[in-house]
Structure 1
Amino acid sequence: MNELTILISCQDKVGLVTDITRVLSEHHLNIVAMREFVDETKKAFFTRIACTGILNETDKLQTKLLENLPADAVVNLVTQAGKRIAVLVTKEYHCLAEILVKNQFETLGADVRCIIGNYETLQNFTEKMGIPYFCVSHADKDKHEFEAELKDIINRHEVDYIVLAKFMRILSADFVKDYAGKIVNIHHSFLPAFIGANPYRQAFERGVKIIGATAHFVTDNLDEGPIITQHTTHVDHNFGVKEMVRAGKEIEKKVLLEALALIFEDRVFVSGNKTVVFK
């Protein structure tokens, strides 16, 4: 008995669920869990279906589903147990540490293939965890050369996702395009508030009473990609910038790991600049 996750997005119409379940029944697949959502403004349908059964002809199953769905349908059949990721870092260790500890104890839901940093700061720590570390300095080369080196390492490791775990460099539109929908970032504010650099100082100067963190997919619009998950915590007049940073780092770890778990379990659909998340 095999496990299969089916992800479908298409234009909504009457009878979609009936058509989908009929096809699965014809292929002798048992539905373990099914979640669906209709975006009424776009008339768009999304579903995530967990199935079990004998999977000898997944190509025929995909073809049959497409034949019974609207012409714009996207159908993904996911049998891969774990994703492969590359993690990009700069100097801050807190998000990387959470990822590597979960990876070490096989609770991440993914295999960390490599860490790439633009400083050597985190190399010793990473290698102690048994993960290859590549230092690609941005200081002695232009942006094109820098990103070409990143791409070479990423492509050699055949990863499914790139995780920016406090990677403090802005990636070019061309780089983002090459990995569209595959780059996940943790931003240290409750977006859309305080976009860009030094959000905790921005929050302190504004006198906010809530700070937060946001995990989102990266697009060529800085910090404006589809949001996956967010959390906040309360602060008050006793918090300076350092205290906000300390509190914020705890939220950043939580938010990033939550977002990655959702992605690795194939629970996230991107719809324009929004996401549909089946928790």
Structure 2
Amino acid sequence: MSQYRVLIDANDEKGLVHKVSSIFYSYDLNILSNSEFVDRQSNKFFMRSVVEGNVDNTELFKALREVLPEHSGIKIVKPEKKNIIIMATKEIHALGDILIRHEAGELEANIVAVISNYDNLESFVKKFDIPYITISHQRLERQEHESKIIEAVQSYKEVDFIVLAKYMRILTPRFVETFENKIINIHHSFLPAFIGANPYKQAYDRGVKIIGATAHFVNNNLDEGPIIAQETIHVTHAYSWKDMQRAGRDVEKVVLSKALKLALEDRIFTYANRTVIF
């Protein structure tokens, strides 16, 4: 028997859980897990079910569409490894954490390549037998540089997510739109605080007592995409901004890996620049 993840978002109305469960029952599918949520403000219904059995995906999709409200979102996904590309610049901690977790079998992913605008991390990445592609930005206009990256990404078949593991260049709208809802970034602050460059220095100047990290999908507003995961740690007046930066790196790598795992397991719904996480 096969497993399927069934992801539904719809306008809420009475009896949706019953209708969907009845469809599963009619196709002799066993529900292994089920989560649902209703956003009362927007009247939106979200449901993630993991079912087991033998069914034709197209038939199941049609049956669900017939009982759900018009314009409902329906996805039926088999739990298979997704293809990801990691983009990095010079910092090793976020990239290294993902590679180690992948090596340990913790992530449902095939890392097809690491792309960087520097070659600093190449020797490290090659220890994991993962292709490393250096696309230097030097002496190139931003559009030209990004065109080369887009070409490199699209040379791989069916890339599901691009993970920015401290990739320290701002992406253009063209790049974001080319890979819409596929780019996951780690920002080194507890958003919405301290957007943009050098947030640890901003935090130090403000005298904060907690610092954090935020993983989010990338959109065309800098560091304002839908938030996937966040964590914080406490700091004191004795911390310099460099101390904050060192302490924050541990938070950054954990938060990014957590967000990636959620995405790989199809646990994230996005709407109205927000997320529902199951």
Instruction: Give TM-score, length-normalised by structure 2.
Output: 0.98
Mapping of 1:1-279 within 5 angstroms?
A: 1-55=1-55, 57-158=56-157, 159-278=159-278
Task: State the Cα RMSD in Å.
Answer: 0.8
CA distance in structure 1 between the aligned counterparts of 2:68 and 2:199, rounded to whole angstroms: 45
Q: Tell me how far 1:80 sits from its aligned partner.
A: 4.0
Which amino acid is the alignment partner of residue 179 of structure 1? F
Determine if contact 2:183/2:218 at 8 Å carries over to the other structure. yes
Query: Offset at 1:105?
Result: 2.2
Q: Which runs of 5+ in 2 are unaligned?
A: none
Identical pairs, percent: 46
Q: List per-residue Cα deviations over 1:37-69 (Å, max 9, x = no partner).
A: 0011110000000000013x1101101101111
Letter in 2 for 1:251: V
TM-score (norm 1): 0.98
Provide runs of 4+ in structure 1 moved above 3 Å.
Answer: none
Give distance in 2, aligned partners of 1:137 and 1:96: 18
CA distance, structure 1, for counterparts of residue 13 and residue 259 of structure 2: 30
Indicate the SS of the match to 1:126.
helix
- Contact 2:5–2:79 (CA<8 Å) still a contact in 1? no
Q: Aligned partners of 1:88 and 1:180: how far apart in 2?
A: 16
Provide the C-alpha distance between the structure 2 equivalents of 1:230 and 1:64, rounded to a whole number of angstroms: 37
SS at match of 2:98: helix
Q: Hey, what's the Cα distance between the residues in 2 that align with 1:100 and 1:248?
A: 19
Equivalent-residue separation in structure 2 for 1:272 and 1:83 (angstroms): 25
| Counterpart-to-counterpart distance in 1, 2:125 and 2:139 | 23
1:102 & 1:236 partners in 2: Cα distance?
Answer: 31
Aligned partners of 2:182, 2:160: CA distance in 1, in Å? 7
How many residue pairs were aligned? 277
- Secondary structure class of the residue paired with 1:48: strand
Distance 1:54 1:203 in 2: 54
The residue identity in structure 1 corresponding to 2:48 is R
Deviations 1:252-278 (Å, cap 9, x if unpaired)? 011111111111111110011100001
Describe the superposition over 1:79-113 as per-residue Cα deviations: whole angstroms up to 9, x where unpaired.
14111100000000000001111122222221111
Deviation at 1:142? 1.0
User: In the TM superposition, what whole-angstrom CA distance separates every residue of 1:212-268 from its partner, at most 9, and x where no partner exists?
Assistant: 000000000000000001000000111001110110000001111111111111111
The 1-side partners of 2:128 and 2:232 are apart by 30
